[in-house]
């Protein structure tokens, strides 16, 4: 299943950048935006897609502002595969 999720993530550079940004530790969309050099709207869209696939979860979903996102266990595995493939290139 990791390969299917991997293919989904790498099909979008925005999703891939968000996964890579979250691989170090949980972050807010603004922090991801700055680190990944993406607009906040692109980060928000990617997070929504990744949430739907179960690759990312929100640590504090009841907050209106300052939501923090982290990788799920599957998201962690996908991030490892992405990093391995990126290092080989």
CATH topology of domain 2-88: Arc Repressor Mutant, subunit A (1.10.10)
Residue-range domain boundaries for the chain: 2-88
Render pLDDT for 23-82 as a digit per residue (tens, 0 to 9): 999 999 999 999 999 999 999 999 999 999 999 999 999 998 999 999 999 999 999 998
Is the distance from CB of 71 to CB of 55 less than 8 angstroms? yes
Burial letters for 50-84: b for 16+ Cβ neighbours within 10 Å, e otherwise? beebebbbeeeeeeeeebbbebbeebebbbebbee
Q: Give CA separation, 77 vs 63, 68, 85, in Å.
A: 27, 20, 12
pLDDT digit string, tens, across residues 34-51: 999 999 999 999 999 999
């Amino acid at each position: 299943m990791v390969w299917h999720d991997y293919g989904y993530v790498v099909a979008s550079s925005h999703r891939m950048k968000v996964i890579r940004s979250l691989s170090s530790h949980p972050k807010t969309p603004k922090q991801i935006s700055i680190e990944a050099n993406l607009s906040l709207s692109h980060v928000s869209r990617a997070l929504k897609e990744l949430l739907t696939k179960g690759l990312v979860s929100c640590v504090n979903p009841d907050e209106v502002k300052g939501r923090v996102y982290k990788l799920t266990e599957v998201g962690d595995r996908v991030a490892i595969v992405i990093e391995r493939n990126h290092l080989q290139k």
